[in-house]
A and B are shown apart, each in its own frame.
Chain A
Amino acid sequence: MLVHDTALVFGRYARQTLRSRFQMLFGVLMPLLYLLFFGPLLDGLPLGSSGDSWQVLIPGLLLQLVLFGASFTGFSIIVEKSTGVVERMRVTPVSRLALLLGRVLRDALLFVVQAVLLVLAALAMGLRAPLPGVLIGFAFVALLTVALASLSYALAMKVATPQEFGPVINAVAMPAMLLSGLMLPMTLGPAWLDIASHFTPLRYLVDAVRDAYVGSYATSHMLYGALVAVTFAVAALAAGARVFRRAGA
């Protein structure tokens, strides 16, 4: 039943996404702007890591895309609560977990597609990276989406208005972006900032994807990145599932 229900919920939201292609393209706009107007600034700068500046920047932009995209997916639940869609689904015997999983899987697919678009644009700008590394990058995009979207939906189930929701997400996403070294490697900064950054889960994902983009797969960065990403995704799903099971209760 869980698989049946998840497929059903996934199908509903995937169809809605397909219908709004504009929205899908709009999602890549911000990272695309960074790619075009910020990327060239880094060309040839000593970034303190192996690989050229594109191999440093693109992994950061991929995860930034997810950080600012997936974190806000909960908005759709707030809208659906006001139209009664959420309760109308919750009075059916549908699995509560499926109501979350179906949405989160749609998001994972959506952000991987957006990541592919971004990487294609980056190739045109001059990115050169090994294919396995690029694919590993997409896996991290999917895992981070699952984690952030689950938390976003869970928060959205709890709050009553978009006015309560947006500021909370921004208050978390902005420091996460700055502290994780999405734009520039944290190793460039002073020691205290580097240490602070290690308390941000996203830092480990960024390091792992940067390694992947230069073809270093068997590294401690990769190990920690994978561990943190999987743990974060599982914990966030569990937290989200708890909220979806008890919503309104």
Chain B
Amino acid sequence: MVSLHFFSGSVFVVTMPIISTSGLARTFDSGNGPVHAVRSVDLAVAAGEIVCLLGPNGAGKTTTLRMLTTLLAPTGGAATVAGHDLADDPAGVRAKCGYVAQSGGADPHLTVREELVTQGRLYRLSRTEAGERAAELAGLLGLGDLLDRKAAALSGGQRRRLDIAMGIVHRPPVLFLDEPTTGLDPGSRSDLWDLVRALRDDHGTTVVLTTHYLDEADALADRLIVIDRGVVVAEGTPAALRAEYADSPAAPLQDVFLAITGRAAAPADAAPLSVQGL
């Protein structure tokens, strides 16, 4: 699969997608019959892209991320992440991607240093490498003075930066963030946006994040992927989506979002709506 993408600087480049999925699906068995959390998701994300998955609650965003990070086995479809097949080589996928869950992942009773070093060593860094990387990341993410503080004593923004530090301790080419700014104050949110941009600009990290905040998607994403009821219902740059779904290029993204999810009334066989440029 080869795709065309707009990169920063408006240069067309032809690349193999670093993440590609076809018909990715997950059905859960519940007491009341099967629940189709993700029906069929086709994605192609280019290396170095920042992509936002948007969608109402229960749309299947988190389930999609949990499948792509090997936490959840798909019940249908296939995916490749950073050159490793999800089904055949989950260990390869794990080594190449970082994941920050909405709940975070630090033990509140342990210190920032302990958690960073442990996570580094789980990613197979040596004890020395993990120690150095912990100090480096703490410096980078403004946690330098907090290395020996327990996670429970951190503020919400600091805690989130620790979660992200744990997610990138092994310098993954792909980073998945599940609602990274939920519950953060505005200052911490914009700090986090800067961090995500820096990861992409300085390290070429591909970032896929889910969010409920349309302003976040607008500010951060190269491309938006709207998911509703387990399928991709629209995708494109914020500008392209505005052109397709709203009256003016300055329209609030909210209008675009409503127009799109309003159309996704037929859930089972809703065909993905393609957007120009893809």
Residues of A within 8 A of B (CB): 1, 4-5, 8, 12, 16, 80, 82-85, 87-94, 246, 248-249
Contacts and interface: CB of A to CB of B under 8 A. Distances in A.
Nearest to B90: A93
Contact of A16 (B70, B73, B98, B109): B109
Interface stretch (B12-20, B115-123, B253-261): B115-123
Contact of A249 (B73, B109, B122): B73
Contacts of B95: 93
B119 A92 contact: yes
Interface of B: 66, 69-73, 91, 94-95, 97-99, 101, 103-110, 118-119, 121-124, 163, 166, 170
B103 A82 contact: yes
Contacts of A91: 69-71, 94, 97-99
Given A12-B118, A249-B72, 17 more contacts: A5-B122, A8-B122, A82-B103, A83-B108, A85-B105, A87-B101, A87-B103, A88-B99, A88-B106, A88-B119, A88-B166, A91-B94, A92-B123, A93-B122, A93-B124, A248-B72, A249-B73
Instruction: Give the interface SS of chain B, mostly helix, strand, loop or mixed.
Output: loop
Given A8-B122, A91-B94, A93-B94, A84 B104 contact: yes
Contacts of A82: 103
Contacts of B91: 93
Contact of A83 (B66, B69, B106): B106
Given A93-B94, A93-B95, A248-B72, A83 B118 contact: no
A163 to B, nearest CB: 18
A90 B106 contact: no
A83 B107 contact: yes
Contacts of B108: 83
25 contacts: A4-B124, A8-B121, A16-B110, A83-B104, A84-B103, A84-B163, A85-B105, A85-B106, A87-B99, A87-B103, A88-B99, A88-B101, A88-B105, A88-B106, A88-B166, A90-B71, A91-B71, A91-B97, A92-B94, A92-B170, A93-B122, A94-B122, A246-B73, A248-B66, A249-B72
A93 B72 contact: no
Q: What 8 A-B pairs are tightest by C-beta distance, nearest first? A: A88-B105, A249-B73, A84-B103, A84-B105, A92-B122, A91-B99, A93-B94, A94-B122
B144 to A, nearest CB: 22
Contacts of A94: 122
Contacts of A84: 101, 103-106, 163
